[in-house]
Each structure stands twice: as C-alpha cells, then as structure tokens.
Amino acid sequence: MSYSFPWLHKIKGTVLQNEILAPYTSIKIGGPADVLIFPEDIRDIQTILKHKGSQPVFILGEGTNLLVGDRGIRGVVISLKNCFKEIKRPLFFRKETGNRRAVIKAGAGVKMSYLAKHAARYSLTGIEQLVGIPGSLGGAIVMNAGAEGVETGQVLRSVTRITSDGEIQTLKREQLSFEYRKTIFPDSDGIILEAELELEEGDRSEIQNTMDRLLSRRGQTQPLTVPNSGSVFKNPEGDTAGRLIESLGLKGLTVGNAGVSIKHANFIVNKGGATAKDVNCLIENIQKEVKEKTGIELQTEIVCAGE
C-alpha cells in the first residue's frame, strides 16, 4: 500500500523520503522508509499525529535490538535519535527510613549508558547495572530492558508520552505493568517523551567500580566492533539463551552473510551485506535446533519491523 504525505512541509525538523534505514540500525540492515522524520520538538510530533490519518507510524530510537525488513517500512518513521536528550539535575529527598533518594527526569532520547553515568556522578545507585544497554531510555522503557537482575521498570517513577490524539499524558508507575522485556501501558498507542527515575543514594566508588567491571566484561564477551543485533532471544526460565545456543555448538552458524557471533551466541552479526531474510532464516534455524534438542521454544527479544 502506498501513502501520500502532503503535510510534510509543516514539519520543522528534517524530513527524508525513501531513506534507507540500514545505517540507522545497529545491525546495518533494512530497506527504505517511505518517510523518515527527525522532529525538532513536540509540536512536530503533534503535527505528524494530527495529519497521518491511517498511515502507520514507527518510532526509531538508537536502532538496537531491531531488524528492519529488506523492503523497508511503509508510512512514517519518527527518529528520536537527535531530540529529547535533556537530563535534569536530581531532586533529592529523604523518606522516614533508609538512605536519601533522588528523582532524575530524562528525555526519551537519552542513551542508557549516559544516564547510568549521570546518576553515578551524583552517587545514585539503581541503574549502574544498565550501563551496557546500548539503546535509549524510551526504548528501555518499552522493552523493560534489563541486565544483572535489574530491570528499567524497577526504578521507573513516571512516564510522559504523547497520545495518538496529540495530548500530553503522564502515567505513574502504578498505572503500568511490567513483564520480562515488556512494559504494558493502559493504552498501547503513544510516543514516550520523558520519564522520571527514582534512585537511592549510594557509595560513588562502588557504583563506578560496578560500571567499570560490567563495561569491561561487555567488551570481552560481546561483538561490539561489528554490526550486530543485540540480544536476539529472551532468556528461557532457569537458563540463558546464549549458553543454550552455545551448548548445541551453534556459535558461528551462518545463513548468507548473517552469523551467530563467536563471542556471544545470543548475538547475530552482519558479516557484510547480510539481509533481513538471512537473519530471519538464521533465527528460525536456531529455534528449530533448540526445540528439537532440548524441547525449549526460544522467544525472540529482537523487534522485527517492516516488510
């Protein structure tokens, strides 16, 4: 289905038509977007939502844990990569018992790695375990991203988003539900603009040591120097997807130019010129092998978008 976009002149930000999306994803795969918009501000997003009609809208953050189809994405793609980057100074308070706490307000486009380091500068603990997550805060909220036993939803205090009718809405944590790698909103339609995180005051040196250790281990165990998918599969109960795949000897398995990483079996790497078809076929092969050998049905964590 083809769409027309007579309202694009009303956008103040950057508008690109038939833009190849591969460069905007961590695995460097993906066909063209009908329209890729880098909004300048909230008003641009409201303009898009007002005029889009039946046109689908896809939100693109840092492009991690994302596989865009070879034929691209129809409709409008909104990239938040260059906006909603503000982080406010923490507001400290003390409850009746325990250490001081603080609330940090940050835009949806802020990288999780930067947010964790920002919190550490104020001796705030609670998200140092998330320093290795490559995506943005908005994406981390949607996916309830986590690491080292800590999930984004655990420290979330509120989320501000723009609804499909253009209204600004703030939801408290109690209005949301959190599952493994998924946050459930009362209404699924909406674009996250910013969020508040509630953290506890801790020992700055311990926080920094934790981040240093995790970043060092990440560099040693993940294929960070080549285009990669991020985590492909959710961890099955009582095990990790990476260990399970490795135990079956699937490291290095390839389809076309996509391969299971030698460094980490839950990552798929683009060896050069890989297609979404290659990756999807590789995912299916892994799922089939794991199911046949162990009885476990691996569920994908990576988001597939487009055609």
The two three-digit tokens of residue 224, written as one number: 């960070």
Can you tell me the mean pLDDT for 243-260? 97
pLDDT-based confidence at residue 166 (cuts at 50, 70, 90): confident
Q: How many angstroms separate the CA atoms of 26 and 69, rounded?
A: 14
Instruction: State the pLDDT at residue 189.
Output: 77
Instruction: State the pLDDT at residue 188.
Output: 67
Q: How many angstroms separate the CA atoms of 14 and 195, rounded?
A: 25
The answer to whether residue 98 scores a pLDDT higher than 90 is no
Pick 35 or 81 by higher pLDDT: 35
The total of other beta-carbon atoms located within 10 Å of residue 130's CB is: 25
Can you tell me the mean pLDDT for 193-222? 96
Instruction: State the pLDDT at residue 164.
Output: 85
Say if CB 137 and CB 109 are below 8 A apart: yes
Virtual torsion, Cα 225, 58, 172, 198, nearest 10 deg: 20
The rounded mean pLDDT for the chain is 95
The answer to whether residue 293 scores a pLDDT higher than 90 is yes
Instruction: State the pLDDT at residue 186.
Output: 87
Question: For the chain, how big is the Rg over CA atoms in Å?
Answer: 20
Q: Which domains does the chain have, with CATH numbers?
A: 8-79 (3.30.43.10), 91-213 (3.30.465.10), 223-305 (3.90.78.10)
Instruction: State the pLDDT at residue 194.
Output: 97
The answer to whether residue 170 scores a pLDDT higher than 90 is yes
| Helix axes of 204-221 and 112-121: crossing angle, nearest 10 degrees | 160
Say if CB 1 and CB 10 are below 8 A apart: no
Virtual torsion, Cα 226, 232, 236, 240, nearest 10 deg: 0
Instruction: State the pLDDT at residue 105.
Output: 98
Can you tell me the mean pLDDT for 178-193? 88
Handedness of CA 190, 22, 216, 220 (dihedral sign): positive
Instruction: State the pLDDT at residue 220.
Output: 95
Catalytic residues: 181, 231, 301
Number of H helices, E strands in the chain: 7, 20
Instruction: State the pLDDT at residue 1.
Output: 66
Backbone angles phi, psi at 4, to 5 degrees: -115, 155
Q: What angle do CA 108, 149, 159 make, to 5 degrees?
A: 25
The answer to whether residue 70 scores a pLDDT higher than 70 is yes
pLDDT-based confidence at residue 187 (cuts at 50, 70, 90): confident
Instruction: State the pLDDT at residue 202.
Output: 96
Pick 294 or 54 by higher pLDDT: 294
Residues of the chain with pLDDT > 70: what percent? 99
